[in-house]
């Protein structure tokens, strides 16, 4: 019987530790490596430049670093992938995927909502890509001869929309599908098992897990990942060895953190839905928010991110609410051990087209909550007092407020 996920998360990427005589992951900070045998170094350089493993000599850390390699192998194992490539940030990973797609065709199909940075990169035409923004059910009709990638995020940032990966893959046909699975992690979802070509993570979030590392990672077939490693080598978007060390360090506790956070998120989602200060809660575990039954079929659980809209759906109300929080930290990012909250319309999704924001329910009064490891009761007490404070401080003569409280 194969080891469980929890066991693999502890031991992945550590196969050479016994031979090395170490217990903790070694941290190799070398920027360059001696090359006394020039022929061997040249052969290794050629292999590394093509995205393959070194031939006995790492040559230069932009091409290969053993600490990073161990973290990549660990994440590939957890995702059920042949290989993985780590980058200096989630956006660097996304950029590499898009650059690789651009080399094979100019057209990309994408489904909103996406992380605001991803949306902005696709919409900005930085890579001369023709992007078709479609609903998940419309992918098949959008695919054309020069389509080189279908890009989705599920659960989606920030409203937790769930997308059926297997159905997207069916519609995409021969076109590779890349799934941003940052919110789910391999604890709850493994897109490659549902036919996706690539799975992408902002590893800054849950995989690192402690708010102290910037990283991105893409996992998939070796041939595809080799192309991404080649792009990483020539563009320089490498992950620093110290960041690789921190990323690898976070993996053994990944399942424990994700499942504990999920338990708390479920409690908070229920309480927020019952609050008269909250207009709407976005959380896949809530009734009616998983119409295709993907939890249990595609995902092992709804996760630990939720969003909610204030009754007074305005930037002023959001500012009053945020300023009253005492335990929860107002900050972008997610997946850390402490609970973070931020208004996507004002921050992470600020650069998204206003019409697209509105269509995805990303309004001024929407808050995205990344639940940490604190007590559910302590977190709720903080949320409840901030919500009550907003209501008490709100003007009561405006027609908008009268309508919202009716």
Residue 348, class by beta-carbon neighbours within 10 Å (0-12 exposed, 13-18 middle, 19+ buried)?
Answer: buried
- State CA 238 to chain mean position distance: 18
Tokens, residue 201: 């993570």
Clarify whether 106 is annotated catalytic: no
- Residue holding tokens 């650069």? 351
- State CA 230 to chain mean position distance: 23
Phi then psi for residue 319, to 5 deg, are -65, -40
Distance CA 114, CA 155 (A): 9
365 Cβ neighbours under 8 A, 6+ residues apart: 279, 309, 310, 311, 312, 313, 314, 315, 317, 318, 343
272 Cβ neighbours under 8 A, 6+ residues apart: 278, 281, 306, 308, 383
Distance CA 148, CA 131 (A): 11
Residues 214 and 89: beta-carbon distance below 8 Å: yes
Q: What does DSSP say about strands 329-330 and 340-342: parallel, antiparallel, or unpaired?
A: parallel
CA triple 259-265-266, angle to 5 deg: 95
Clarify whether 119 is annotated catalytic: no
The 8-class DSSP code of residue 156 comes to P
Clarify whether 180 is annotated catalytic: yes
* Active-site position among 100, 180, 266, 290: 180
Residues 371 and 306: beta-carbon distance below 8 Å: yes
The 8-class DSSP code of residue 251 comes to G
The 8-class DSSP code of residue 339 comes to -
Clarify whether 205 is annotated catalytic: yes
SS3 307: strand
* Active-site position among 62, 106, 249, 271: 62
Q: Which of 190, 132, 191, 179 is nearest to 153 (CA)?
A: 179
SS3 157: coil
131 Cβ neighbours under 8 A, 6+ residues apart: 107, 108, 109, 110, 122, 123
Residues 185 and 219: beta-carbon distance below 8 Å: no
Catalytic residues: 62, 115, 180, 205
């Amino acid at each position: 019987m194969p080891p469980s996920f929890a066991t693999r998360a502890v031991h992945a990427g550590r196969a050479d530790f016994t031979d090395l005589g170490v217990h903790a992951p070694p941290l190799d900070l070398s920027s360059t490596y001696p090359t006394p045998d020039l022929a061997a170094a040249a052969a290794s350089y050629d292999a590394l430049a093509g995205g393959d493993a070194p031939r006995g000599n790492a040559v230069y850390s932009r091409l290969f670093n053993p600490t990073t390699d161990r973290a990549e192998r660990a994440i590939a194992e957890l995702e059920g992938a042949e290989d993985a490539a780590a980058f200096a940030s989630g956006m660097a990973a996304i950029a590499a995927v898009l650059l690789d797609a651009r080399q094979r065709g100019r057209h990309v199909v994408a489904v909103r909502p996406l992380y605001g940075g991803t949306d902005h990169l696709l919409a900005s035409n930085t890579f001369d890509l023709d992007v078709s923004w479609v609903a998940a059910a419309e992918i098949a009709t959008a695919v054309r001869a020069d389509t080189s990638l279908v890009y989705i995020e599920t659960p989606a940032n920030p409203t937790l929309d769930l997308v059926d990966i297997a159905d997207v893959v069916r519609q995409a046909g021969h076109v590779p599908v890349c799934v941003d699975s940052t919110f789910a992690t391999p604890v709850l979802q493994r897109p490659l098992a549902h036919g996706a070509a690539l799975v992408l993570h902002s590893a800054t979030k849950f995989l690192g897990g402690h708010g102290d590392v910037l990283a991105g990672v893409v996992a998939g077939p070796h041939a595809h990942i080799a192309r991404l490693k080649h792009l990483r080598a020539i563009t320089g978007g490498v992950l620093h060895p110290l960041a690789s060390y921190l990323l690898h360090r976070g993996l053994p506790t990944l399942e424990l953190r994700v499942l504990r956070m999920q338990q708390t998120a479920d409690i908070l989602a229920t309480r927020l839905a019952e609050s008269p200060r909250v207009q709407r809660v976005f959380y896949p575990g809530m009734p009616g928010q998983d119409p295709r039954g993907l939890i249990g079929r595609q995902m092992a659980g709804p996760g630990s991110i939720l969003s909610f809209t204030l009754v007074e759906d305005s930037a002023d109300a959001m500012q009053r609410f945020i300023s009253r929080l005492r335990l929860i930290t107002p900050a972008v990012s997610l997946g850390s051990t402490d609970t973070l909250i931020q208004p996507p319309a004002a921050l992470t999704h600020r650069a998204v087209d206003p019409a697209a924001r509105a269509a995805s329910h990303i309004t001024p009064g929407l808050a995205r909550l990344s639940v940490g490891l604190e007590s559910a009761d302590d977190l709720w007490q903080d949320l409840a007092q901030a919500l009550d404070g907003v209501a008490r401080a709100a003007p009561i003569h405006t027609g908008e407020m009268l309508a919202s409280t009716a």
